């Protein structure tokens, strides 16, 4: 199947947001009393781009990109881990800094990858189903609704797997809700841009699919 330059551009941006998010997430930022990973500035873009992919190209194409993003993220993580394990030059004194900033704890990796797959597939599924149910109307409701589900599951899975047993239950619940609301607010504010890009791409690509007979299994081959 031939992919257009616009599809490839959206795919490249999607994958980039994932890899960059993994790298910058190590920094915690404080915003008016809220503590959030720095990835919050870029990770929600993956959901916006995921919405565009599903809306313009359909669930099956979005599924391909989700798995591609997972693979590319895995390659980046493996490269960073292997680079960290290689012996440092005798004059290079920054190994500790490298390990502190780029080192990955196995538990956090498992939590991150699981949350990504659950959240992204849920987002694409809900958007595609809502598009059929609304006959293509109310894009704002579909993008925000799918984000509420996808980002909610992403936050729930990641924070639970990563921190359960290490912080109190109330703190765990607070962290989940805080990340969920912050990411959803990001999507809501970006709705006008999502509308503009989606509608423009539909015209340029001549594509506006409805997933009425799509096999929604994550591992299905179309």
Contact 35/29 with Cβ under 8 angstroms? Answer: yes
If DSSP codes are grouped into helix, strand and coil, which group holds residue 1? Answer: coil
Contact 161/115 with Cβ under 8 angstroms? Answer: yes
Question: According to the model, what pLDDT value does residue 165 have?
Answer: 81
C-alpha closest to that of 194 among 95, 54, 48? 48
Of the listed ranges 4-8, 17-21, 39-43, 148-152, the least confidently predicted one is 39-43
Question: According to the model, what pLDDT value does residue 66 have?
Answer: 96
Residue 167 vs residue 155, higher pLDDT:
155
Q: How far apart are CA 109 and CA 147, in angstroms?
A: 22
Please indicate, yes or no, whether the overall pTM of this predicted structure exceeds 0.85: yes
Torsion of CA 168, 163, 49, 130, to 10 degrees: -60
The C-alpha angle with vertex 93 and arms to 90 and 97, in degrees rounded to 5, equals: 140
Contact 174/23 with Cβ under 8 angstroms? Answer: no
pLDDT one-digit tens code per residue, 26-54: 787 877 776 777 887 888 899 899 999 99
Q: 158-197 as b/e, with b when 16 or more CB fall inside 10 Å?
A: bbbbbbeeeeeeeebeebbebbbebbbebbeebbeebeeb
Question: According to the model, what pLDDT value does residue 40 have?
Answer: 79
Q: How far apart are CA 212 and CA 131, in angstroms?
A: 9
Q: Quick one: 218 exposed, middle or buried, by C-beta within 10 A (0-12, 13-18, 19+)?
A: middle
Take residue 48 and report the two structure tokens written for it.
Answer: 């916006």
Kind and range of the H or E element at 33?
none
pLDDT one-digit tens code per residue, 167-215: 787 878 888 888 888 888 888 898 899 999 999 999 999 999 999 999 9
pLDDT one-digit tens code per residue, 63-117: 999 999 999 999 999 999 999 999 999 999 999 999 888 887 778 888 889 999 9
Integer-rounded Cα radius of gyration of the chain:
19
If DSSP codes are grouped into helix, strand and coil, which group holds residue 167? Answer: strand
Question: According to the model, what pLDDT value does residue 196 have?
Answer: 92
Take residue 58 and report the two structure tokens written for it.
Answer: 């359909």
Half-sphere exposure of 113 (CA within 13 A, CB side): 16
pLDDT category at 25 given cuts 50, 70, 90 is: confident
- Would the pLDDT of 222 be above 70? no
């Amino acid at each position: 199947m031939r992919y257009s330059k616009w599809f490839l551009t959206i795919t490249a941006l999607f994958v980039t947001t994932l890899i960059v998010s993994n790298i910058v997430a190590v920094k915690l930022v404080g915003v008016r009393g809220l503590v959030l990973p720095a990835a919050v500035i870029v990770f929600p873009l993956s959901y916006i781009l995921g919405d565009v992919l599903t809306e313009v190209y359909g669930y099956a194409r979005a599924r391909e990109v989700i798995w591609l993003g997972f693979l590319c993220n895995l390659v980046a993580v493996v490269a960073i881990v292997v680079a960290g394990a290689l012996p440092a030059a005798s004059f290079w004194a920054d190994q500790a800094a490298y390990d502190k900033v780029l080192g990955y704890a196995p538990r956090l990796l498992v939590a991150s990858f699981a949350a990504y797959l659950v959240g992204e597939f849920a987002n694409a599924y809900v958007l595609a189903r809502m598009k059929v149910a609304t006959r293509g109307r109310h894009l704002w409701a579909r993008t925000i609704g799918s984000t509420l589900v996808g980002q909610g599951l992403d936050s729930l899975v990641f924070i639970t797997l990563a921190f359960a047993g290490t912080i109190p239950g109330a703190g765990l619940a607070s962290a989940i809700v805080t990340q969920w609301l912050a990411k959803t607010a990001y999507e809501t504010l970006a709705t006008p841009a999502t509308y503009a890009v989606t509608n423009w791409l539909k015209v340029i690509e001549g594509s506006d699919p409805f997933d009425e007979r799509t096999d929604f299994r994550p591992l299905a081959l179309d």
